Amino acid sequence: MFSYRHAFHAGNHADVLKHTTLLATLRHLMQKEAGITLVDTHAGAGLYRLDGDYAEKGGEAADGIVKLMAALRAAGQEPLPSTPALDDYLDLIASFNPDDQLRVYPGSPFVMQSLMRTESRDRLKLFELHPTDSRTLTANVAQLNAGRQVSVQLQDGFESLKPMLPPPPSTSGSKRALVLIDPSYEIKSDYAKVSACIQECLKRFPTGCYLVWYPIIPRAEAHDLPRRLKTLSNQAGRPWLHATLNIGQRDLSLNERPGLSASGMFVINPPHTLKAELQATLPRVLDVLGRGRGKAQSVEAGGR
């Protein structure tokens, strides 16, 4: 149960998709002054060393943020074609590496915290069940001196989310929430838990913004999950967006492990700007990260 560690995968192509989508969504939501409750159900350690043992063992950042940053800095070549969402993401990563050396990668908790506003009294709730990662997350968050604005709890995010919805009203009286759900899916039951969690969320607080990350792998549950989420969204009368990124297969003749090549983000109640932003950004990302047979990207939206 506790074998998965995001430190092995930090900064990979799945993180690029996840955090570009998360950041673009947050930017739009933060245009309103009213405070917002942010929740990460599977927060991990929060910050990751790309030059540490875990990341170097997996080496997955090499096919993700490392390639993107290299393309951005490539001397004597055409610069990486930019979009506002891609620029925003790369600027955020650069802010954690002020010496221009890519050593640190911020996980979702620090992506969210970077946009939080003290004056609006935004709140960030972080749940992590892995005991080691929870301790590391607590230590990393302590460096922020954020006080009650950010809380960390060693709890099951699926169960802990339920009593938090609907969220408490902001100072203006409005209720707003963004929830990121991104379990490891190492346990097959995680797929069903995600569906059940979203179904419960839409009953308790249908206007919340819900982001679900999932791996695209040859498993029936993985293929069924986005279809199930579309059905739940449509039944609740809520708009949705589904984005996928497949960087293609490795060259197996090099005796490399195939590894994860594709993942998806499903967003319920997305900002109206998100579809166009991702349609402009994902082809740019794929131009850099694409590596072989099967590479593709897609963005579709539905609902009202």
Catalytic residues, by residue number, are: 182
Q: How many Å apart are CA 302 and CA 288, to the nearest integer?
A: 28
Contact 25, 251 (CB under 8 A): no
At 296, is the secondary structure helix, strand, or coil? Answer: strand
At 62, is the secondary structure helix, strand, or coil? Answer: helix
Instruction: Note the Cα 51 to chain centre separation in Å.
Output: 21
Q: Could you tell me what percentage of the chain is helix, strand and coil, using 3-state DSSP and rounding each to the nearest 5? A: 45, 15, 40
At 249, is the secondary structure helix, strand, or coil? Answer: coil
Q: How many Å apart are CA 31 and CA 129, to the nearest integer?
A: 32
Contact 239, 269 (CB under 8 A): yes
DSSP 82: P
Beta strands in the chain (DSSP E): 37-40, 47-49, 104-106, 123-127, 150-153, 177-181, 209-215, 240-246, 262-268, 296-302
Contact 42, 181 (CB under 8 A): yes
Does the bond joining 206 to the residue before it have cis omega, within 30 degrees of 0? no
Closest residue by Cα to residue 63 from 224, 257, 222: 257
At position 29, the amino acid (one-letter code) is: L
Instruction: Note the Cα 292 to chain centre separation in Å.
Output: 24
Strands 150-153 and 37-40: unpaired
Closest residue by Cα to residue 44 from 7, 12, 19: 7
